[in-house]
Chains A and B, each alone.
Chain A
Amino acid sequence: MQFGIFTVTDITQDPTTGRTPSEHERIKGTVAIAKHAEEVGLDIFALGEHHNPPFWSSSPTTTLAYIAGQTSKLQLSTATTLITTNDPVKIAEDYAMLQHVSDGRVDLMLGRGNTGPVYPWFGQDIRQGLPLAIENYELLHRLWREDVVDWSGKFRTPLQGFTATPRPLDDVPPFVWHGSIRTPEIADQAAFYGDGFFANHIFWPASHTQRMIALYRQRFEHHGHGTAAQAIVGLGGQVFMRKNSQDAVNEFRPYFDNAPVYGHGPSMEDFTQQTPLTVGSPQEVIDKTLGFRDYVGDYQRQLWLVDHAGLPLKTVLEQLDLLGEEVVPVLRKEFAKNRPADVPDAPNHASLVKAKYGDRAPRQATPNANRGDNLTVGSPYQDTSTVEAAQSSSNSSGSAFGAAATRKEFVR
């Protein structure tokens, strides 16, 4: 089981002081948060993507590459990468690149984005959000698995003989999670590819999350990637802790009352009752988090939102201390209890390499000299002919782990 944090990268006024940090301050602060996440023993740091103020994270791979250079174990992820408005070609290139510089410490979570004005800035239309997510991901999936891609679709310029470079590290694409709050088609998409499904969870009642996860698990089994219990599930959460519960409540209330999204809406008491938000002692966070398993089953990844709504950097770092010292060690132990042996961990680079190659050495893509096109003379890489490349790609589509990885009859 993996534990970590995710950030939406909002720059929000601290309601207790009236002070708003600058973009630079908040960017540097977020890097400090990510590094501290590793120091306290968390596994994951996931970064949001936005293209409008008051958010700063327009270029997640730049940020994550820098964090990768400052850390050694932390797994880097996104929350979310916009599969609708980004060019799938650029996603394929950027995240393969990030894999190389981070030595495989990267996965990503795809989402559609819910900010209407963003779509036209990138030449898209929010009403096409779902078809965009489906088509773009299909292309991204191929670009990471086939050296040479011919492709045409509805939303993007066609590709003839295109190679996304660099090839994924060890020729193993990053693991992908699909995030959605209440769109059943996205749960089906994640299940179809044998990818992970992440439920944002934090702004919504448990019943929504329960339904979406149940659907994803059922479709995961339907598409032949394993049993429903073996599907790869991630959940969001949101916490504010102090040793004494009442201190946490008093300190967090002004941040809650003025927060983006839910501020000036429901009371903190109602909201903590109706959603995963926990404001209280570390023990209360432990109890609430363990309760998630009751309605989604054994799952693989738990991320918390700890740094939004104008909370000062110092406070956020203290939250990480509490997570690392008091919460996560207990959760690791408790979640391991009664966990069936055939429920897998979330795939990471090492496990994906193992699943693909066993004990063999992974492929190291080495290009031939430039000849100007990929179409007429075999593969652009030294180790494979075009024919072999096509074969290996058709064999490796779908699940790269678990029982389905060896399945041969997978048809797309």
Chain B
Amino acid sequence: MTTKRIVIISAGLSTPSSTRQLADRLTADAVAILRERGVEVEAQVFELRDLAHDIINHMLMGFAPPKLEEALDAVSSADGLIAVTPIFSTSYAGLFKSFIDVIDPQALTDLPVLIGATGGTSRHSLAIDYAIRPLFTYLHAIPVTTGVFAATSDWGNGGDGVRSLPDRIFRGAKEFAELVERTDRSDLINDPFALDRPVGHLVGGFTGE
């Protein structure tokens, strides 16, 4: 039995936050589905609020303080990412984008991603598809077809009349679990200091290598 590693990032700003709540529900379903299929799962959650100062310092200094480094390493080498952000002013939270901005642009290649977002009303639900999905596509990650948006009303009465929040969570989690089950990303070594190719190719006849 193999162990898959999934990482959850939650960009909610309050404690407790509905963003974290959605992240936990998505995680619970994804883990349950994978376990049913005999796949062992390790899930690691990062609240971006706890990393906020480190993220800004990384932007200013160009390197990650230890706590942030741990999160970046975890995301880069994960088999799947569950990314959940509140929608602020029609798009992802600035903190969420700032975290994405300090990730190495190659680090998310081929990474299965389940996108979640929260907002006041369901009128913001398309932000997943016009703002968040293109971000992950650009980074060559693989966002699953279903993104899960949870409006305030979804948590109580009068949510989406077509399909309930738990239904949508399950559907997204299932699509995500199928990709996570198949990937071998966490077995690959990702070394930014590796010399991919000796310098010789840059100048003709330089090393003969």
* B121: interface (CB < 8 Å): no
For the complex, would chain B's binding face be called helix, strand, loop or mixed by DSSP majority? loop
List CB contacts (< 8 Å) of B150-209 with chain A: 192-196, 198-200, 202-203, 205-208
By the criterion CB–CB under 8 Å, are A411 and B206 in contact? no
Highest count of chain A CB atoms <10 Å: which of B63, B200, B207? B63
By the criterion CB–CB under 8 Å, are A182 and B192 in contact? yes
Q: Which residues of B contact A184 (CB under 8 A)?
A: 193-196
Residues of B within 8 A of A (CB): 56-57, 60-63, 65-66, 192-196, 198-200, 202-203, 205-208
By the criterion CB–CB under 8 Å, are A266 and B203 in contact? no
Query: How close is A243's CB to chain B, nearest CB, in angstroms?
Result: 30
By the criterion CB–CB under 8 Å, are B195 and A134 in contact? no
Q: Which residues of A contact B208 (CB under 8 A)?
A: 411-412
- Docked Cα-Cα span, A115 to B15, in Å, equals 42
- Docked Cα-Cα span, A342 to B51, in Å, equals 46
Q: Which residues of A contact B56 (CB under 8 A)?
A: 265
Query: How close is A260's CB to chain B, nearest CB, in angstroms?
Result: 11
By the criterion CB–CB under 8 Å, are A265 and B60 in contact? yes
Query: How close is B176's CB to chain A, nearest CB, in angstroms?
Result: 32
Decide: A185 near B65, CB < 8 A? Known: A138-B206, A412-B206. no
Decide: A262 near B195, CB < 8 A? Known: A134-B206, A138-B203, A412-B206. no
Residues of A within 8 Å of B, CB-based: how many?
Answer: 30
- Docked Cα-Cα span, A128 to B57, in Å, equals 28
List CB contacts (< 8 Å) of A377-412 with chain B: 411-412
By the criterion CB–CB under 8 Å, are A203 and B61 in contact? yes
By the criterion CB–CB under 8 Å, are B61 and A262 in contact? yes
- Docked Cα-Cα span, A124 to B82, in Å, equals 43
* A82: interface (CB < 8 Å): no
By the criterion CB–CB under 8 Å, are A274 and B192 in contact? no
* A292: interface (CB < 8 Å): no
Decide: A412 near B193, CB < 8 A? Known: A204-B63, A265-B57. no
By the criterion CB–CB under 8 Å, are A189 and B60 in contact? no
13 more contacts with CB within 8 A, not counting A203-B62, A205-B63, A219-B195, are A138-B203, A153-B203, A184-B194, A185-B195, A189-B199, A192-B207, A211-B193, A212-B193, A215-B193, A219-B198, A262-B60, A266-B61, A411-B208
Query: How close is A289's CB to chain B, nearest CB, in angstroms?
Result: 21
- Docked Cα-Cα span, A412 to B204, in Å, equals 10
- Docked Cα-Cα span, A301 to B5, in Å, equals 43
Chain B residue, CB-CB nearest to A184: B195
Query: How close is B34's CB to chain A, nearest CB, in angstroms?
Result: 33
Query: How close is A149's CB to chain B, nearest CB, in angstroms?
Result: 15
* A188: interface (CB < 8 Å): yes
By the criterion CB–CB under 8 Å, are A188 and B62 in contact? no
Query: How close is A306's CB to chain B, nearest CB, in angstroms?
Result: 20
